[in-house]
Each structure stands twice: as C-alpha cells, then as structure tokens.
Structure 1
C-alpha cells in the first residue's frame, strides 16, 4: 500500500519518526486494513449463505472471484468506500455498498441484497477486529517477540559460566551467574506467552441485539446459532460468544491487553537491569563511526536503545490499561464508546514493536566486560559469609551466623586474607577449614542450571 503522506507532518511518532519500524502493522491496524477486514468478513458471510442454500449463487460467480475482492483490494478501492461514507455517514454501510457495486460488475445484481443480510454493523466489526488482531499477533508481533526471546536465551547460554556479584536491595549479595540472571527474563516472558495462548480470540455474531432476530423471522426453520458458530469458529478461525448484546463482551480482548501489558512490564524490568549493568560497566557498548553519544560530552556512549524501549513500553502500557478497563463496559445492549477506542488497538502494539526492535538493537551493541565483573567479585569477599556460616551449622559450630555477622556486617576491607585469617581461628577440624577456604566469590554461585 503506497501513500504520499509525509512522516514529517505526522502527529504520532509511530506514523512519523518510527513509521518504517512499524510499517508491517499498517496492513492490520490502518484505516485501509480495517476496511479490508470488514470486506473480508462480509464476503465470507455472503459465500457461506449461498453454500448453506439460503440463496442461489449465479453459476457465473465463483467464490474465488468474490474472495479476490478483498485479497486484491487496493488503496483506490478503500478510498471509494471512504467517499461513499461521506454520504452514508456510516462506515460499514459504505462497505456494503462497495461489495454490491463489485457484484454488479460481476453480473450479480440479482443476489446483491444478500450482502449484509440480517446483520448489524457490529457483526462485521466484532469479527473483523478480532480477526485482524489475531493475525497481527500471530503473523507479526508474536514471531518478533519469540525471536527476541531466542536471542536473549542464546546470550544467557553464552554467559552461563560468567560468575557475577548479585545485588539485593542494591547491596552486594550471594554471587550468581550472568547467564542465569538473563534466563530469569526468558522464563518470565515465556510464561506470559503461554498464558496469552489460553485466551481465545472472541467474536460476536448474532444480529442487532445478539438473538438472530432478523435471521430467525425470515428463515425460522434454519439453525442460525449453528450457522453463526460455523461461520465464526470454522470459517474465520475465531471463537463465537453465545450470549451477547449488540457488541462483543471484549473480556477476552481485555485479557490479551493485560497479558501484553505484563509482557511489557517484564521487558521494562529487563531494560532497567541491562541499563544498570551498563552503568556498572559490566557491559561496554560497540561504537559506530559518526555516531554521537552526547552533544556536549564526546566520551559518552549512552544506552539509548534500552531507554527508548523503556519509554515506548510505558506508553504502550498506559494505552493497554485504558483499553482493558474501558472496552468491557457498555451501557445496556450497547453504546458507541467502544467504536472510537477500538480504532486505537494498533497503537500500543506499535509502541511495543518499536521497543522490541530497540531492545534487539541494544543487545547487539553489548560487549561483556569480564574484568569489571570479576573485580567486583574480588572486592566483595564478605558475600561468602553466608556459605561459611551455613557449613559451620552443618558441623554444629555454636552461633555461626552471629560470628560471621560480627565479622562482616557493615565492615569494610573484608578480603580473602582477612576471611582466611578468621577461618584459621575457628575451633573446627583442618578438613573443614580447607573446605571453607576453597570457597570464593567466583565459585560460590550455586547450582549450574540446565538451559
């Protein structure tokens, strides 16, 4: 889809500064995308009506010809619908008229009135929108997220044996490995993706107030509930809600938003941790000729990719929060507040998409600084106090915790030498002393996990 619109005059940065990064989402969430999905729903419904014998399709009109109307839809076609909307002041009615015009060109005037038969606009919107949402998630967003997780997991494996000083409450704590700390985020993200998969892509399809009134009064012997289920569940690949008002409940859509919000929150946590490791010089960053880190300080290489990601994830979450709180609420059988809100569901996904690409870019710049990581371990021998007092408990040494607390808590200058001197003064067997002296910040890292 081509457009002469200049990103320089866009109000939103996702259609301006970042337009190239999120261009693949426009086929789902743009006005063109929504129109195309509406046409797709109307066409597939029209075809199924004929297949079920509700009306007889002219032999000269083939399903492939009808599907080509949405499969080959152009921007000019969508513009034609927008021009009609200026007269109808109703976007779905404009789609209906467009399809009837296409049928006229195919010689199908005699069956044109079966287009949009018995439907309200929400039968179209509440199938088109979950369908475009489903395909955007499955075809674009989730594959990118899964690829990013795979990249992070591979980095974790690379750093599996890198011992690192942990920080709890910002203070030196029992050593860990860099790989395992990265794997924490892999597991958290994968858990949320699994949860996301349990939530169906729900749709509404049942006439003006959800009871198939027009369908039933016209063809009372036809099983319209079965028809609706087949159309939504099998033809569109969604899940039809059985008891609805004029609109879909949006409860499952809200659950999707809430899960994506948690995914974004985990990614914010990840960005902040990586940012902090950069500030601690555990990572250095690759430089690129010609790039500037600061307009005033030539030496700086800022972790801007992780900061950019954090900012975009925050914007996305603010929007997801509103969407999930607002959409499930509608006065009585329907009000129109969902309509304008639903047009924005692609915005938080776009901001998330920008963030994913920024994280990927930032990860590609990281250079491990083992010298600094090891120096921090060497400067914090006090962290093996936990190991020493625990082994002393095993050999029934009296009050081992208190002995190590007096030695290390709030004390500076705890070194290998001072700690070994303390061990030499303990009333324990030489074998135990040797066991204690073998412990170091570099090897006191716990279980070696398989990942």
Structure 2
C-alpha cells in the first residue's frame, strides 16, 4: 500500500505526518507486531533461564540469535505475519507461528512448543501495548512537553520585570508581572508531569483467566506468580497487576489518560490566554515572508498556531476521556471491546504532540508590545484602589473600602490626577500620603 499524506483519512497521518511520524515506531500495526514478538522471545528466554523442565538443555549462547528476531524485525517480517493472519484470523497466533518458523531455521524444532507456553493472547497484548506506551512517553512525549515547559520558563525569565494589567472576570484587576503569568503555566505543567510519571505502566500476565491455570497444571512445583512478577517488572520494566481476569483492568492506564488530559487542559488554558493577549495587542507576531493571514483581509496576522493547538488538544482529550471511561469496564472475565479501542492509543498522543508543537511554534513567533501593556496600565489607575484602601485599613481609617468604592465606581474616568486628588483629601498623616503617592499601576505588582 503506497499511502501518501494526501490520501490519508486522518490528518494525523496526512496533514500533520511530519509532526507525528515518529509515533509510528510505537503505535503502527508493524510496531505492535514487533513488540508482540519481543515479549514472546523474552518470555521464552525467561523460561529457559529458570531451567524449566524441557528447556534445561537449551543452549543459552543462542539467546543473542533469538533476540535478533525482534532486533532486526522488518516490514517484510510484519507482512509475513499479516499473511499468516489471513489464514488464522488471529493476530497473536500468527506471531507465534512466525517465531516457530524462525526456530525451524535455527534448528530449534525441539523447543518450539515452549513459545507462547501457557499464555493467552492478552498476556502478549497487555504487555506489548503498555511497553509501547512506556517507550512513546519516555522517548517522544516527555521530551516534547519538556521543551514546551523550558520555552515557557525562558519567557517567564525574560519578562519577569514587565508589569501588566491583570483581568479577573474580564475586568481590570490588580496588576501583575508578565513573567509571573508565564511561570504559572510552567509550574502547573511541571506538577502534572510529575504526577503522570508516577503512574505505573501496568501489565497483565497470568494465563487465560489470570490464574496461571495452564502453567500450574503443567509445572505445579514452580511459583508462577514470582516468575511472572520478575519477568514483567524486571525484564520488561513494567508493573505486573497481581489479580486480573483475562485482561489487564486498565485502571492505571485510565489514570495516565486522565493525567495527559489535565496537561492538555493546561496547554489549552495557555493557548487561550496568549490568544487573548494577542487580541489586546500585548503581543505582535513575527511575520514570515510569503505567509497569508487572511484570504480576504491583507492586514491580518491570525494567531493560528494557538488555535490549532487548542483544537488538537481538545480532540486528544475527547479520546483520553473515552479511554479512561471505557477501558476499565469489561463484561465478566473479558469481552473484546478493549481490543479495537487499544488500537487507537496512538491517536490522542499524536494530536497531543501536534498541540505541543503548535504551541511552541506560536510562542516562538510572539513579540512583546510593551507599549500596549504600558498604555493599558496607564488607562486603569482605578486598580490601585485596592492598595490605597489596604493601607488605610492598616491605619484604622474609617470605612476605607467604601471611600474607594465611591471614588472608583463613578462614570468619571479615574486617572493619576483623580487618585492624587483623593489622596490629598484624606485625613491622614503626611507620611501616609507620601507612601500612597508612590503607588502606581506600574509598581503595584506584588511579589512572586
């Protein structure tokens, strides 16, 4: 199949292929097959390592040859397995037959029946998929979100001393620092990222219904729980769920989805704030030669990167929310609904990467328009009312809040002169008036 980006149904594999193509190494059909082969081979080696009767004479020097089966896994290997699947109508069984054919070529026919020994297909799927998710997070997602956090941090440092009018309920409020507002998002992202990292990559490994029935009936002398814990936790680097049905219960994966959704919500919040600041002319955007903002209005430079990011993060969150709600629910010991859902795991991660990339691209374009920030502060002297009434409270001045309310809620514009006249009319010591006169919208920015 020679699929081009113009023929793809999903924009993940079409329009945004350049951004998302790295995820194919974890979530494509070929990748899933490869990770299944990986688990099967490592499981066989683990059985050999404990000298399972029937494998006690297996030549351990052949481990490297066995590992080459997945280390050199190719598209042709995947196609061979897919051809077998047309006959078996079972994807994991096709993988088993593929490995058995490799054993034939290595003259290991006597050991073939220990491939997939005692397992059900979900012992492979529910380790291969968590393993691919773990790799995708560590090798693709974490570096991307770290780059975004670093960019936000750098802007926070660059603009740490820039005063800016704050807005609560869309109305002018106590001034802040532009850098601090960026630091809010960096801090939030860091906290939620650590929460995500703390969630185990849970896996199921326990036979047809989670009780090691086949393992135990064949080799009752072996502690299969201990063996499987060591195999999943140490060899695969996952965390084995101790009590399961035929499938992993997906509770930890649901927690990962919820954590990823929270991070995306923070990104959406950031995108919307920057969009609003651009609309207030606090930021201008670097113009790239040849780019067009509007097909009809030549003057426009639209904040498309932040809008693109918001849309993609929203799509990702819809899927993360569905996964978290659906996957932990399965009829009795297992139904098949999780299988088709799990094949879409890479989709919300792809949209998430698009959102992160678009946000980064947008942040790289914005140019601070300090004059606009200055003008808004100068146009809103009423915001220092909080400072004045707080000092008057400290001095036990009668009804300071009400006095400032009367001043600032008139239809008359409040400016530096209005505030100065109000201060002069106060019945307080001159030392207090001196302190009040120093307060401006430009310096009433608190600490952080």
CA gap of 1:412–1:116, structure 2 versus 1, over 3 A, is: farther
> 1:399: which partner in 2?
399
CA RMSD between the two structures: 1.0
2-structure distance, mates of 1:394, 1:384: 16
Greater shift, 116-125 or 393-402, is seen at 393-402
**What is the TM-score normalised by the length of structure 1?**
0.98
1-structure distance, mates of 2:60, 2:379: 83
Matched, 1:103 2:98: no
2-structure distance, mates of 1:345, 1:388: 55
CA deviations on 1:349-371 (whole Å, 9 max, x unpaired) are 00000011101110000000000
> 1:179: which partner in 2?
179
CA deviations on 1:52-74 (whole Å, 9 max, x unpaired) are 11113543861111111111110
CA contact (8 A) 1:209 1:245 kept: yes
CA contact (8 A) 1:57 1:111 kept: no
> 2:256: which partner in 1?
256
1:404-443 matches, within 5 Å, as 404-443=404-443
Give the 3-state SS of the residue equivalent to 1:56 in structure 2. coil
CA deviations on 1:201-233 (whole Å, 9 max, x unpaired) are 101000000000000000010111111001000
Matched, 1:7 2:5: yes
Aligned-residue offset at 1:93: 0.1
CA contact (8 A) 2:123 2:205 kept: yes
Aligned-residue offset at 1:245: 0.3
Unmatched 5+ stretches in structure 2: none
1-structure distance, mates of 2:291, 2:412: 41
1-structure distance, mates of 2:304, 2:414: 36
CA contact (8 A) 2:253 2:324 kept: yes
> 2:161: which partner in 1?
161
2-structure distance, mates of 1:412, 1:186: 40
CA contact (8 A) 1:58 1:108 kept: no
Give the 3-state SS of the residue equivalent to 1:364 in structure 2. helix
1:215-226 matches, within 5 Å, as 215-226=215-226
> 1:275: which partner in 2?
275
CA contact (8 A) 1:317 1:348 kept: yes
Matched, 1:337 2:337: yes
CA deviations on 1:425-444 (whole Å, 9 max, x unpaired) are 11111111111010000000
**What is the TM-score normalised by the length of structure 2?**
0.98
1:26-425 matches, within 5 Å, as 26-54=24-52, 55-56=55-56, 58-59=58-59, 62-425=62-425
1-structure distance, mates of 2:246, 2:207: 7
Give the 3-state SS of the residue equivalent to 1:193 in structure 2. helix
Aligned-residue offset at 1:411: 3.4
> 2:17: which partner in 1?
19
CA deviations on 1:390-412 (whole Å, 9 max, x unpaired) are 00111111101000000002534
2-structure distance, mates of 1:306, 1:370: 21
1-structure distance, mates of 2:118, 2:412: 80
Give the 3-state SS of the residue equivalent to 2:176 in structure 1. strand
2-structure distance, mates of 1:279, 1:410: 28
2-structure distance, mates of 1:112, 1:7: 42
Give the 3-state SS of the residue equivalent to 2:372 in structure 1. helix
Give the 3-state SS of the residue equivalent to 2:175 in structure 1. strand
CA deviations on 1:224-246 (whole Å, 9 max, x unpaired) are 11110010000000010111100
2-structure distance, mates of 1:411, 1:189: 42
CA contact (8 A) 2:204 2:240 kept: yes
Give the 3-state SS of the residue equivalent to 2:6 in structure 1. helix
Structure 1 residue runs of 4 or more that deviate by more than 6 Å after TM superposition: none
CA contact (8 A) 1:85 1:91 kept: yes
Greater shift, 369-378 or 146-155, is seen at 146-155
1-structure distance, mates of 2:145, 2:118: 40
CA contact (8 A) 2:202 2:240 kept: yes
Count residues with an aligned counterpart: 446
CA deviations on 1:271-320 (whole Å, 9 max, x unpaired) are 00000000000000000110000000001000000000000000000001
2-structure distance, mates of 1:57, 1:260: 47
CA deviations on 1:136-192 (whole Å, 9 max, x unpaired) are 001110111011101101110111000000000000000000011111111111111
Greater shift, 402-411 or 342-351, is seen at 402-411
1-structure distance, mates of 2:411, 2:152: 37
